[in-house]
Amino acid sequence: MFDQLFEHFSTLSYLVVVLFFILLGYRPPWWSRKSLDCRKRDVQDIPGPLSLPVLGTRWIFSFGSYSFEKIHEFYEDMQRKYGTIMKEEALFNVPVISVFEKQDIEKVLKSTSKFPIRPPTEAIAWYRRSKPERYASTGLVNEQGEKWHFLRTNLTTDLTSPRTISSFLPQVQDIAEDWCCLLKELRNSNDEISNLEQLVEQVGLETSCALVLGRRMGFLLQKDISETARQLAEAVHQHFISTRDTYFGLPIWKIFNTPAYSKLAESEDIIYTLALELICTADEATKESAVFQSVLRADIDEREKTAAIVDFIAAGIHTLKNSLVFLLYLIAKHPETQEKILGDSSKTYLKACVTEMFRVLPTANCLARVTEEDLELSGYRINAGSVLLCHTGIACKDERNFKNATEFYPDRWLNEQRSQTSSNATFLVTPFGVGKRICPGKRFIEQVLPLILEHTIRRFELRTVKPMELQFEFLVSPKGPTSMIFKDRF
Ligand code: HEM
């Protein structure tokens, strides 16, 4: 059959096809090798997996040996295979460069810029642009340049202020108390909680709403999670998964509605509607909340205000859930850390545990940027405008940066043990990002995590039941359900 097909192809047709691919920028792997030593190496010389014309390397996650859930393992394998730097290609063969070396990561993240560019999650931006009645822009997370700067200055000043954050301390203490009561109530007769993710998600919801709306929603008081909380948590979870699928899959959602895009649109819709409901039922406490007030007072389009509150609530739930599950799991797996937490009144060790969790199991394991100046990375010349992925999570597990790098060892962050950390490698522990685009929720989360951990350890002795598996949901997440023992201490 193929013979018959090829008979109809003339030499000219072959030439036209070859020319077509060359015009699209496709080059076979041997193309540039010959002259490699005679000139400075640039982006096209960076090694990486097979790239197809137009589609680039995105086929790997749709037809190759890596599923979407294992994308974090794909990058670990690529680092083992290609070393310090690796290139993928997005649609129309746009290069996306991964860097794994401390020096390269530092160069990218420390290069200064007035308005740092983080590549947007295109599908969300696409959806928001299609809904001008709801969104005046693509939002703080996805906007760039002057527009991003305008939103950032107008929306996050109170959110990032230490005074505002410390005013939340009593509420966070109450949340930690309610969390411990809920654990007590829901354990089985063996002191086991069998789906930790679900309960911790309720903490994420309650905490994010307390921060943004300034009031307690009661998501931790009911034995059976309320319908609003369940829907909101499910929609946020779905939102991350479909963001991953549209981002790493073939971008055909730009041509027609794929299931991944439809689910993304549906989850955006649910989050927006539920968050709007919460805003509309604002009580006196909400009206007095510093974060809520600062958004309402901002001199910006009304649509931006709602979108910001939606984004703040959504940004906290899943990130906090993953981080808290990881923290409890690592502490449960290392019983000696529990004794040290109990014996340290200065709380230094507690903070060291949180930092070490972010080093060993960061939920955001990679930071993305578009370079605004030419850079030299691992001996390759990278042009301004290139998309770069800085794999801080992988660099944190490199023996050259941290001794016994895969071990959870909070003591390495204490002064007398600093030798466990190579000089300036601490820069790699950047769970909230860096520079002007740093997460505005950082201060709040840094207050929440040690506090909840301390309350839990004072009340319970923690034990793991089985090893935890990970899966990629745009964030590195526990592949639940995680079981854990919470045994009373008194
Ligand atoms: C454990 C919890 C959290 C983690 C690990 C986390 C992590 C991150 C990271 C890595 C970034 C990208 C920073 C960069 O590109 O340099 C980011 C951005 C962002 N985060 Fe968080 N985050 C958390 C909680 C929150 C909370 C509670 C809020 C709500 C206020 C929030 C709101 C945002 C926003 C709005 C951005 C975009 C900022 C911008 O582009 O200017 N995050 N976060």
Local mean pLDDT, 10-residue blocks, the chain (490 residues)? 53 64 56 54 94 87 86 96 95 93 95 90 93 94 95 92 91 95 95 94 90 84 75 91 91 87 95 85 70 86 89 90 98 97 93 97 97 95 96 96 95 75 81 96 96 97 97 95 94
Q: Which of 432, 437, 443, 446 to mutate to test the pocket of ligand 1 (most atoms within 8 A of CB)?
A: 432
Identify whether the C-beta of residue 212 lies closer than 8 Å to the C-beta of residue 291: yes
**C-alpha 96 to ligand 1 mean position (Å):** 22
116 lines ligand 1 (CB under 6 A): no
314 lines ligand 1 (CB under 6 A): no
Nearest CA to ligand 1 atom 41: 437
**C-alpha 440 to ligand 1 mean position (Å):** 6
- Annotated binding residues for heme, written as ranges, equal 439
Q: Which of 319, 352, 348 is nearest to 431 (CA)?
A: 319
| pTM beyond cutoff 0.95 | no
Please report the pLDDT score of residue 242 as a whole number: 95
321 lines ligand 1 (CB under 6 A): no
Place of tokens 């995590």: 449
- Using omega within 30 degrees of 0 as the cis cutoff, is the peptide bond preceding 410 cis? no
**C-alpha 441 to ligand 1 mean position (Å):** 6
444 lines ligand 1 (CB under 6 A): yes
**Alpha-carbon distance 125 to 141, whole Å?**
10
**Alpha-carbon distance 115 to 123, whole Å?**
22
**Alpha-carbon distance 347 to 229, whole Å?**
32
Nearest CA to ligand 1 atom 37: 141
Q: What is the DSSP letter of 411?
A: G
318 lines ligand 1 (CB under 6 A): no
